[in-house]
């Protein structure tokens, strides 16, 4: 066993010191009838065989880098600069625990503080926590937070049908034990028309930017109406889009959350990702999750600590704002390195590239017979195309041409059968885009 250093002599000396004959004697408190059962287990694999085994399994996947990929829908294929994996692969970062002892954890603490600062800059908010599990759970916790901010007196949540379907499902799971009702599933509504559902019983109004269909919905006047009713406005935002478009904080949002995966985290079959979570300073004591704050040490030097922890479960137990303990710190580090690498100009430039390429594809598709670009509102890097055939069928045909097609919207919205959500990023060259257009023509 390569990871257990004990020699026979070590074991003998230790058992002798403890005063027992066999290691098994240390398990005397365990009821004898359940000790050492028979297990059905495969034999152990040496490192070389193990690697071959997993390489075989991974080769059984079609990885997106071998295809022309136009699939997004909440998980995005952006290029990850080499520095990101280089930094997060440093074992001083990845083999550390939660920075409970600040004197020997300044690396993690400062990196998280910088992450929090960058998320605030991006979202236009005043405080951000050190991350949630993913975009879906960040939305769910935002809803629970709004309910708590309003002292559990308001029992209605108005959520746009174009918040990511899995985020909506997750939120419904999260509030099962709470006295909360989620409304707003009518897909004929947009953000503006849904507003009429926000009333004095409403804890929060939840919209997504860009929404699940890729559209930039008109947010003007929303904050005024929601606040007028005494409710909170939660915006689920795409962090790359925020490189180009106005921050939700500028529109008056109260909580801004989202999926941080596009910021330097690999697709990795859906996880681990990170949920980012930002809000206004006045709500900081109701926010879940860890927070890093700046302070000084005994000699007056600047340093960082976990702070306001009396909100958290390890102190407040059943009265805590949330049960979250482990978060996605390493993914947040990746996001921070990514944001620092692209920086002020790089992120804007990247977002513009995605925008222009997506619009180029949309224009080309709109020239095709049998296809219709359904999206009429402004959009970012995704838009909706009505196809002449079921999307699953389309995608199989595209796959024969080495193209991974878009997301089948009929899965979540029955009235949108044959509607494909197409995603374009900087990874898609003009050649790829033109190839897709040609392929669509062929398979129509």
Please report how close the Cβ of residue 223 comes to other proteins at its closest, in angstroms.
16
CA distances from 95 to 88, 98, 123, 290 (A): 10, 10, 30, 19
**10 Å Cβ neighbour count for 49?**
10
Q: How many residues does the chain have?
A: 444
Distant-in-sequence, close-in-space partners of 121: CB < 8 Å, separation ≥ 6: none
Q: Which is nearer to other proteins, 12 or 196 (CB)?
A: 12
Min CB(262)–other proteins separation in Å: 13
Other CB atoms closer than 10 Å to residue 258's CB: what's the count? 31
Structure tokens at 241: 């889009």
CA gyration radius for the chain? 25
Closest distance to other proteins from the beta carbon of 157 (Å): 16
* Minimum CB–partner distance for residue 250 and other proteins (Å): 7
By the 10 Å C-beta count (0-12 exposed, 13-18 middle, 19+ buried), 44 is classed as exposed
Nearer to other proteins, 266 or 410 (CB): 266
Q: How far is CA 359 from CA 69, 281, 427, in A?
A: 16, 38, 15
Cα gap 225→252, rounded to integer Å: 11
* Closest separation in Å from C-beta 102 to other proteins: 5
- Shortest distance (Å) from residue 101 CB to other proteins: 6
Distance between CA atoms of 148 and 372, rounded to whole angstroms? 44
Is the preceding omega at residue 408 within 30 degrees of 0, hence cis?
Answer: no
Residues 331/129, Cβ–Cβ less than 8 Å: no
Backbone CA torsion sign across 51, 52, 58, 59: positive
Closest to other proteins by CB, 184 vs 239, is: 239
For other proteins, give the closer residue by CB, 49 or 196: 49
The residue (of 196 and 411) whose beta carbon lies closer to other proteins is: 411
Residue 186 neighbours by CB under 8 Å, 6+ apart: 161
What gap in Å lies between CA 440 and CA 393, rounded to an integer? 12
| DSSP label of 10 | H
Nearer to other proteins, 93 or 413 (CB): 93
In angstroms, give the least distance from the CB of 393 to other proteins. 12
Instruction: Output the smallest distance, CB 385 to other proteins, in A.
Output: 16
Q: How far is the CB of 263 from other proteins (least distance, A)?
A: 11
Of 165, 96, 94, 176, the residue nearest 135 (C-alpha): 165
* Residue tagged 């062929």 (tokens): 442
> Token match 């916790």: residue?
141
Q: Which helix (H) or strand (E) holds 422?
A: strand 419-423
Q: Answer for the pair 185, 210: CB distance below 8 angstroms, yes or no.
A: no
CA 11/CA 309 separation, integer angstroms: 41
Tokens of 34: 């359940």
Residue number, 183 or 399, with CB nearest to other proteins: 399
CB closer to other proteins out of 196 and 268? 268
For other proteins, the closer of residues 96 and 374 by Cβ is: 96
CB of 186 to other proteins, least distance (A): 21
User: Are the C-beta atoms of 323 and 290 separated by less than 8 Å?
Assistant: no
Q: Which is nearer to other proteins, 13 or 183 (CB)?
A: 13
Identity of the residue, 70 or 233, whose beta carbon is nearer to other proteins in the bound complex: 70
Tell me the closest approach of the beta carbon of residue 200 to other proteins, in angstroms: 15
Task: Extract the tokens encoding 413.
Answer: 């919205």
């Amino acid at each position: 066993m390569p990871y257990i250093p004990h020699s026979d002599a070590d074991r003998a000396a230790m058992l002798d010191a403890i005063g027992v004959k066999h290691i098994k004697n240390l398990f005397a408190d365990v009821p004898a009838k359940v000790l050492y059962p028979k297990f059905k287990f495969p034999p152990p694999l040496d490192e070389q065989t193990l690697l071959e085994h997993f390489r075989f399994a991974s080769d059984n996947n079609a990885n997106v880098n071998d295809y022309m990929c136009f699939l997004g829908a909440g998980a995005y294929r952006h290029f990850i600069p080499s520095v990101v994996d280089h930094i997060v692969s440093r074992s001083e970062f990845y083999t550390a625990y939660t920075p409970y002892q600040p004197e020997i954890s300044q690396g993690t603490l400062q990196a998280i503080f910088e992450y929090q600062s960058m998320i605030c800059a991006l979202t236009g908010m005043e405080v951000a926590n050190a991350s949630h599990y993913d975009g879906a759970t960040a939305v769910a916790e935002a809803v629970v937070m709004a309910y708590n901010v309003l002292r559990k007196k308001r029992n209605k949540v108005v959520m746009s049908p174009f918040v990511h379907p899995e985020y909506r499902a997750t939120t419904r799971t999260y509030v099962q034990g709470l006295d909360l009702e989620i409304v707003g599933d009518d897909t004929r509504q947009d953000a503006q028309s849904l507003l009429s559902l926000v009333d004095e019983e409403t804890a929060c109004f939840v919209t997504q930017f860009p929404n699940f269909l890729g559209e930039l919905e008109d947010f003007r006047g929303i904050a005024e109406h929601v606040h007028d009713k005494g409710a909170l406005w939660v915006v689920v935002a795409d962090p790359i889009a925020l490189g180009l478009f106005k921050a939700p904080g500028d529109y008056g949002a109260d909580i801004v959350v989202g999926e941080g995966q596009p910021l330097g985290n690999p697709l990795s079959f859906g996880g681990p990702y990170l949920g980012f979570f930002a809000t206004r300073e006045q709500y900081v004591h109701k926010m879940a999750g860890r927070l890093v704050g700046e302070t000084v040490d005994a000699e007056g030097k600047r340093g960082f600590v976990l702070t306001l922890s009396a909100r958290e479960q390890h102190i407040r137990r059943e009265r805590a704002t949330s049960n979250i303990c482990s978060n996605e710190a390493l993914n947040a580090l990746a996001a921070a390195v990514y944001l620092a690498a692209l920086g002020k100009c790089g992120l804007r430039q990247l977002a513009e590239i995605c925008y222009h390429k997506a619009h180029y594809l949309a224009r080309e598709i709109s020239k095709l017979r049998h296809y219709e670009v359904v999206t009429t509102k402004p959009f970012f890097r995704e838009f909706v195309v009505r196809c002449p055939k079921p999307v699953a069928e389309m995608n199989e045909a595209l796959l024969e041409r080495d193209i991974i097609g878009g997301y089948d919207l009929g899965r979540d919205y029955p009235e949108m059968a044959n509607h494909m959500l197409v995603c374009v990023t900087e990874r898609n060259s003009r050649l790829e885009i033109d190839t897709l257009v040609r392929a669509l023509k062929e398979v129509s």
